[in-house]
Structure 1
Amino acid sequence: MQYQKIKFSNREKSTFFPVLRQRVDQYFSANDICKSGGSGILYKAIFMLSLYLIPYSLIMSGAFSNLAMFALTVVMGLGVAGVGMSVMHDAIHGSLATSKILNKILGGSIYLLGGNAYNWEVQHNRLHHTYTNIHEVDEDITGKFLLRLSYQEKQKYIHRFQHIYAFFLYSLMTISFLWKDFKEISLFNKMSESGMTKPFPRKELIRLVISKLAYVVFICVIPLYFLPITFGQWFSGFLAMHCTAGIILSTVFQMAHVVEGVEQPEPDTSGNIENAWAVHQLQTTSNFAGKNRILSWYIGGLDYQIEHHLFPSISHVHYHALSPIVKATAAEFGYDYNAKKDFINALGSHVRMLRSMGTEVRINKPELQPA
């Protein structure tokens, strides 16, 4: 398909973000704190990386039974998800630390998960964060295998059952990194014709191939060579790790944009979105922050997705404090602040959206339901 440059063109709504940004800057100035994560997030990064690498080391010691090693792969999955949400995510956004070098190093933790830093930066930082919930451009809701996550996606008969099987497919998210990153080469090249991305650099292609080979050696070749296990035993552990990570990561990300009350705007024939970028983020994103601060800590503050989408260069450790400022400013300008009461309510809302998209043929804006 031919991609079209998309522009946000409603200047009347553009006054919201300057006011909000000024208030957020004032918060940091008044409290004399830095917008990065500070030393606390570095300890958190060490913990999350340890949650992934220590079980790997214990498995490689060969001192445990097969059942214990399988359990350790599940713990590794928790570590994969923790690194993805709390370390890699902030680092590639440049918000984990004030040091660009440290952000680059910790952003490289995505290679330990089987992903690729350049692809994530383009697909997530540039496309998803700019063109949130816009069909064909935001890959998070477009072209998913057996899933209809956009009302503009063609409906198929099997979609009416997607609320039943979706979470199984979600569990395959991090496994899909192994081939999806290669598919995105042609996607980015096509998008570059409209100026939305740059052509895929040759040096990044080399890095992509080398990093994938290194991951296969780390996660497959070394265990099979040094441990007295069969391929079937290794594969069951590999699936346990990735499926644990995949279902956590996918569910958390989907509950930000595929829930009741969010919009899926369509550009006009000229590629215009009749909205300001910041207001677009408000209307296409939802929070599910509740009182569970442990959950919020583990998932890298992604229960505050509205704050993250408005201020991706600010570390997630500050989103809880920024939330009242964003909510009050949105209300002042007459905009909804879509926040589900907690994780369970958001999960229920997502399941209802999956069911609605599976049965609704018409292009339809979902109505906001009580949390």
Structure 2
Amino acid sequence: MQYQKIKFSNKDKSVFFPVLRQRIDHHFSSNNICKSGGKGIKYKALFMLSLYLIPYALILSGNFSNMINLALAVIMGLGVAGVGMSVMHDAIHGSLATSKLWNKFFGASIYLLGGNAYNWEVQHNRLHHTYTNIHEVDEDITGKFLLRLSFQEKYKSIHRFQHIYAFFLYSLMTISFLWKDFKEISLFNKMAESGMTKPFPKKELATLIISKIGYVIFILAIPMYFLPISFGQWLLGFLAMHFTSGIILSTVFQMAHVVEGVHQPEPDETGCVENAWAVHQLQTTSNFAGKSKLLSWYIGGLDYQIEHHLFPSISHVHYHAISPIVRATALEFGYDYNAKKNFITALGSHIRMLRSMGYPFPPAVFAQQPEEVSVPA
């Protein structure tokens, strides 16, 4: 397809973000707080990496039964998701540390997960964070196998059952890194024709190939060489790890943008979205922060997705503190602040949206919007 550069244009709504940004900056300056994660997040990063690498080392020791090794593979999956949400995500956004070197170092943890830093930066940081919930441009809701996550996506009869099988497909997310990064080369090159991205750099192709080979050696060749296991036994552990990480990561990301109350705007024929960028982020994103501090800690503050989309350069450790400022400012300007009560509420909302999109036209019952909830100070 031919990609068209998308522009945000609405002067009447452009006042919101400067006011909000001034208030957020005042919060940090008046409290003498750094916007990065500080020392604590580095310890957290080491913990998440250990959650992934220590079970790997224990499996390689050969001292445990197949069942225990399988359990360790599941724990590795928890580590993969933890690294992805709490370490790599902040680092590639440049918010984990004030040092670019530290951000680059921890951002490189994506290679341990089978992904690629450059592809993630383009697909996630530039495209998803700029053109959130815009069909054909935001890859998070576009072109998913057997899934219809946008009302602009072509309808297929099998979509009627997607709320049943969706979570199985979600579990394949991190496995797809192995081939998806190569497919994105042509995608980025096509988008470069409109100026939305840059052509895929040739030097990055070498990094891509070498990192994929390194991951296959790390995750397949080394265990098969040192352990007396069959390929089938290895495959079971590999799938257990990736199913665990994939379903966690996909569900968390989808509950931020494919829930009731969020918008899926369509650009006009000139590629213009009649909205200011910040208001667009506010209207295409939803929070699901509840009372569980442990959940919020583990998922890297991604239950505060509104704050993250408005201020991706601020570390997730600050989202809880700035959320009342964001909410109050949004309501002051007359904009909804879409916040689900908790994880379970958001999960139910996401499932209802999957069912809604399983029809060519959403039934009236799915058009009802949940009541907005307040965010604790």
Give the TM-score range, shorter chain: over 0.9
TM-fit CA distance, 1:363: 12
1:111 match: secondary structure:
helix
Partner of 2:102: 102
Question: Could you list the per-position Cα deviations for residues 9-45 of structure 1 after superposition, in whole angstroms to 9, with x for gaps in the alignment?
Answer: 1011000000000000000001101000000100100
Is 2:258 the counterpart of 1:264? Answer: no
* Corresponding residue number in structure 2 for 1:322: 322
Distance 1:57 1:248, change over 3 A: same
State the TM-score, normalized to the length of structure 2. Answer: 0.97
1:124-161 deviations in whole A, cap 9, x for unaligned? Answer: 00000000000000000000000000000011000000
Partner of 2:133: 133
Shift of 1:366: 5.0
Partner of 1:56: 56
Classify the secondary structure of the residue corresponding to 1:175: coil
Q: Distance in 2 between matches of 1:199 and 1:247?
A: 31
Is this contact kept in 2: 1:77–1:244, CA < 8 A? yes
Alignment of 1:322-361 (within 5 A): 322-361=322-361
Deviations 1:182-232 (A, max 9, x none): 000000000000000000000101100000000000000000011000000
Q: How many residues align?
A: 371
Q: Which residue of 2 aligns with 1:13?
A: 13
SS, match of residue 145 in structure 2: coil
Aligned ranges 1:152-171 → 2 under 5 Å:
152-171=152-171
Report the equivalent of 1:279: 279
Q: TM-score, normalised by structure 1?
A: 0.99
CA contact (8 A) 1:88 1:107 kept: yes
The 5 A counterparts of 1:69-218 are 69-218=69-218
The equivalent of 2:294 in structure 1 is: 294
Return the letter of the residue paired with 2:236. S
Contact 2:8 2:276 (8 Å CA) reproduced: yes
Q: Any unmatched runs of 5+ in structure 2? A: 373-377
8 Å contact kept, 2:356–2:363: no
Tell me the CA shift for residue 359 of structure 1: 1.1
The question of whether the paired residues in 1 share the 8 Å contact of 2:356 and 2:362 is answered with no
Matched residues in 1 for 2:125 and 2:91: separation?
Answer: 11
Cα pair 2:224 2:231 within 8 Å, conserved: yes
Residue 360 of structure 1 deviates from its aligned partner by 3.5
The alpha-carbon deviation at position 368 of structure 1 amounts to: 2.2
Output one character per residue of 1:47-75: Cα deviation in whole Å (capped at 9) or x when no partner. 00000000000000111111111100000
Is contact 1:262–1:368 with CA below 8 Å preserved after alignment? no
Residue type at the aligned position of 1:193: E
The gaps in structure 1 that reach 5 residues or longer are: none
Residue 249 of structure 1: aligned partner: 249
Show the counterpart of 1:23: 23
2:370 equivalent in structure 1: 369
Matched, 1:223 2:223: yes
Q: Does the CA-based 8 Å contact 1:36-1:314 persist in structure 2?
A: yes
Q: Please give the alpha-carbon distance, in whole angstroms, between the structure 1 residues aligned to 2:239 and 2:60.
A: 17
2:265 is aligned with what amino acid? P
For residues 263-316 of structure 1, what are the alpha-carbon distances to aligned partners after superposition, in whole Å with 9 as ceiling and x for unaligned?
000000000000000000000000000000000000000000000000000000
The answer to whether 1:41 aligns with 2:41 is: yes
Q: In structure 2, how many angstroms separate the alpha carbons of the residues matched to 1:362 and 1:54? A: 47
- Report deviation, 1:361: 3.1
Contact 1:261 1:366 in 2 (8 A): no
What is the letter of the counterpart of residue 79 of structure 1? G
* Identical aligned residues as a percent: 81
Relative to 1, partners in 2 of residues 1:367 and 1:136: Cα closer, same or farther, differing over 3 Å? farther
Counterpart CA distance in 2 for 1:11 and 1:318 is 29
Does the CA contact (< 8 Å) of 1:174 and 1:242 recur in 2? yes
Q: Secondary structure at the match of 1:164?
A: helix
* SS of alignment partner, residue 359 of structure 1: coil
The answer to whether the Cα contact below 8 Å between 2:94 and 2:100 also exists between their aligned partners in 1 is: yes
Letter in 2 for 1:369: P
For 1:257 and 1:325, how far apart are their aligned partners in 2? 21
Query: 2 CA distance for matches of 1:283 and 1:352?
Result: 19
Structure 1: how far apart are the matches of 2:223 and 2:328?
A: 53
CA displacement at 1:362 relative to structure 2 = 6.9
CA RMSD, Structure 1 to Structure 2 (Å): 1.2
Contact 1:59 1:69 in 2 (8 A): yes
Q: Which residue of 1 aligns with 2:375?
A: none
Do 1:288 and 1:303's aligned partners in 2 also have CA atoms closer than 8 Å? yes
Q: Equivalents in 1 of 2:24, 2:233: separation in Å?
A: 51
SS of 2:174's equivalent in the other structure is helix
The answer on whether the counterparts of 1:262 and 1:366 sit within 8 Å (CA) in structure 2 is: no
CA distance in 1, matches of 2:264, 2:199: 27
* CA distance in structure 2 between the aligned counterparts of 1:10 and 1:24, rounded to whole angstroms: 23
